[in-house]
Amino acid sequence: MENRKILVVDDDPTMVKLINVNLKLNNYSVLEATSGEQALEIVNSEALDLVVLDIMMPGVDGWEVLRQIRSKPETEEMPVILVTAKTQDSDVIKGWELGADEYVIKPFNPLLLVEVVRMVLDRSYEERLERRKKQKEKLEVLRSLSRPKQDSSK
């Protein structure tokens, strides 16, 4: 198997190390960034196979990093896995809308994250687009079910 290159982005160095170690144990080559600005520099200068991206970071946050990745022809197809403590339905939906391939909620099992990475890397671009679309549709249904019903008897 070729050595796939993955960028891990998180402002928490301990989280970066945890993800890095587990990916390296599975023969992935890992680059690290501890800020959105640093992540964008690496994304624009390296040939990456995937980005594991935190959302909540000072300065340029993960949402903006994802927007910029999707806005450029040379990086728009790059797989991105969001790894975040943001658990609201609206955040998950935003992640799918911006083009995340997966949305993993912290805390997480590092071994399961490695499996998510493997699954995403094994999907074709068309499969990833279809999955994003289906996830967004499912979340929209869940959101609509959780909205309070209007009382029509008044």
Domain ranges of the chain: 5-146
Predicted local distance difference test score (pLDDT) of residue 151: 55
49 within 8 A of 5, measured Cβ to Cβ: yes
Predicted local distance difference test score (pLDDT) of residue 124: 87
Question: How is residue 154 written in tokens?
Answer: 């008044």
- On average, the pLDDT of the chain sits at 90
Radius of gyration of the chain (CA): 16
> Edge to edge, what strands does the sheet with 102-105 contain?
29-33, 5-9, 50-53, 80-84, 102-105
The CATH number of domain 5-146, selected from 3.40.50.2300, 3.40.50.300, 3.40.50.410, 3.10.690.10 = 3.40.50.2300
**Sign of CA pseudo-dihedral 81, 49, 114, 33:** negative
Question: What is the pTM for the complete model shown?
Answer: 0.87
Question: pLDDT digit of tens for each residue in the chain (154 aa)?
Answer: 458 999 999 999 999 999 999 999 999 999 999 999 999 999 999 999 999 999 999 999 999 999 999 999 999 999 999 999 988 888 988 898 899 999 999 999 999 999 999 999 998 888 988 887 888 788 778 778 777 766 555 5
